[in-house]
Structure 1
Amino acid sequence: MTSASNVPFFPPIKTRTHEVCGAGAYLFAFALAARCGGPVLWIREAWDKQQINPVGFAGFVNPSEVRVCITETQLDTLAIAEESLRSKAVSLVVMALNKPIGLTEGRRLQLAAQAGESTGLAIIPDGMGSNAAQTRWRCSPIFDADQRSQDSTLQSWELIKNKSGTLGAWHVLWDAASHRIVMVSPSGK
């Protein structure tokens, strides 16, 4: 294993908004919440029945630090995210989006994150994304037949968009003891 400081680009740049997609997006969000520290606002639309369970994320972040906001529309989600990012009251705003957002909306989120010195993370469907996002990650669980198969946090993280220009892919897992993401070698290497 390698220490979390060797996982390039994680955590993503503070004061910016990032995107994540894939079946492992929630693990990415909770690992980011752990790294950001402090209060987290999780925003989702009412129609989305996928909920976060405090028992499931307690190993990452204290459930008392997470507030869930349920909105009626994506426009409401974006408005609440923007105000929350700007407010300096939270360290991380996670928003579940199901439709693309325009450059204007994405830029507003970036400016709000910068003004509030907080981080934004949009959980998006695969293939969707905003040109304004600083980074975009694709996270997928890895089902490994070796000794790590008992660890449900083993994932492949791909940095598929980065305004800094560098992309890459890493096998990572959550190390509960150190409360960090660590890089691991792919099975058989």
Structure 2
Amino acid sequence: MRPEAAPADPFDLRARRVHEAEGRGRRAFALFQAVRHPGPLVWIAPAHIPELPMLRGLPRGVGERLHVFRPVGETDLLWCIEEALRAAPVSLVIAEPEKPLSLTAGRRLQLDAEAGRTTGIMLIRGDAGSNATETRWNCEPMASTAADSTLHQWTLNKNKKGTIGSWILNWNGASAAVHMVSEARQRHEPADTAP
């Protein structure tokens, strides 16, 4: 078995697989991925959670493609996730399970993603990940002095097919473009010119 080459873009999620995002910035990470995935999008959140994506506040082009499902109960939520992942026209499935996924449930979701040729992102709470997930991201917003954007730190903690890492980036929430922020004192500094 040949190892896969690392993607040129560290934020490219492997297709036909289910990934996880945790942390306070997990929804921003999901919206960032929604911008990058053309085609129909599905967001599945439990019926009792008050926070929903506001269609007019979403990045351009996402609201028109987004379908929101609000199942009652964890069993119905998992059923919705499985059905959405198996639906071939769907490009990306974003789901917010309340309980940790078992290894069996996580493996079933991976098989569903493969069958439907769909990418999935589970927005999990801390330490609620499944061992079957392809990648796990920790996403945290950071303080920023810019008025038009927010700095993010996205850390890849688990990756079955590659390396892990951490990135600080600036995303304005409008497009799929990000600007990487250099580590402190890692910027190009001009050479000292002593007189």
TM-score range, shorter chain: 0.7 to 0.9
Deviations 1:82-126 (A, max 9, x none): 111111021001001121011111111101111111100000001
SS in structure 1 of the partner of residue 178 of structure 2 = strand
Deviations 1:60-95 (A, max 9, x none): x43110010001012211111111111102100100
AA in 1 matched with 2:114: Q
Structure with higher Rg: it is 2
Shift of 1:175: 5.3
Label 1:144 to 1:30 Cα distance change in 2 as closer, same or farther (>3 A).
same
Distance 1:37 1:24 in 2: 22
- 1:185 matched to 2:186? The reply is no
1 or 2, which has the higher helix percentage? 1
Q: Which has the higher contact order (CA 8 A, sep 6+)?
A: 1
Shift of 1:177: 7.2
Label 1:177 to 1:47 Cα distance change in 2 as closer, same or farther (>3 A).
closer
Name the counterpart of 2:94: 94
Name stretches of at least 5 consecutive residues in structure 2 with no aligned partner. 1-6, 187-195
TM-score, normalised to structure 2, is 0.85
Distance 2:51 2:126 in 1: 16
- 1:47 matched to 2:44? The reply is no
Bigger drift between 76-85 and 13-22 goes to: 76-85
Shift of 1:188: 5.5
AA in 2 matched with 1:22: G
Question: How many residues are matched?
Answer: 180
Name the counterpart of 1:164: 161
- 1:155 matched to 2:152? The reply is yes
Distance 2:116 2:8 in 1: 27
RMSD, aligned CA: 1.9
Q: What percent identity do the matched residue pairs reach?
A: 40
